[in-house]
Amino acid sequence: GLGFNIVGGTDQQYISNDNSIYVSRIKKDGAAYLDGRLQEGDKILAVNGRILKDLRHKDAVELFRNAGCNVSLKIQRRLQPQNGPVGHQGDGESGGLPLAAVLVPGLALAAAAVWILLRYRQRM
């Protein structure tokens, strides 16, 4: 197989009022996984030039099964949920430095400053 599972279709809508076909799972070490471009949640618009519009789920599955060895997919990347202020990337990262990247060097500098101060006071 192609190494991924699909959901959706006219008879099994994945998203309400949307008959589209979506990638539900990418199988480890499968063709899609090894290629690396397809992602879970991607909407598949066409297979080898055949538009996947208003198909039943089983008909979409048959298209994939009969796609052949060289398969061309036209996809629409899934939208990332927007949580937080405008410009937030929505992938769980704030876009700034991780807290540890600031705290660890800052604590190291503070400890070094205290050590130097104590050594300097002992010499006086």
pLDDT in tens, 54-78: 999 999 999 999 998 889 999 999 7
Interval 90-104: pLDDT, tens: 444 444 555 555 566
Whether 9 contacts 21, CB under 8 Å: yes
For residue 89, being part of any structural domain is answered with no
- pLDDT score, position 107: 65
For residue 19, being part of any structural domain is answered with yes
CATH of the domain at 61: 2.30.42.10
Length reported for the chain? 124
- Collapsed DSSP state (helix, strand, coil) of residue 105: helix
In the chain, the number of structural domains is 1
- Collapsed DSSP state (helix, strand, coil) of residue 112: helix
For residue 20, being part of any structural domain is answered with yes
pTM confidence score: 0.62
Nearest in space to 75 (alpha carbons), one of 6, 3, 12, 1: 6
For residue 88, being part of any structural domain is answered with no
Task: Please provide residue 25's backbone torsions phi and psi, each rounded to the nearest 5 degrees.
Answer: -155, 140
For residue 116, being part of any structural domain is answered with no
Which residue range(s) make up the domain with 30? 4-76
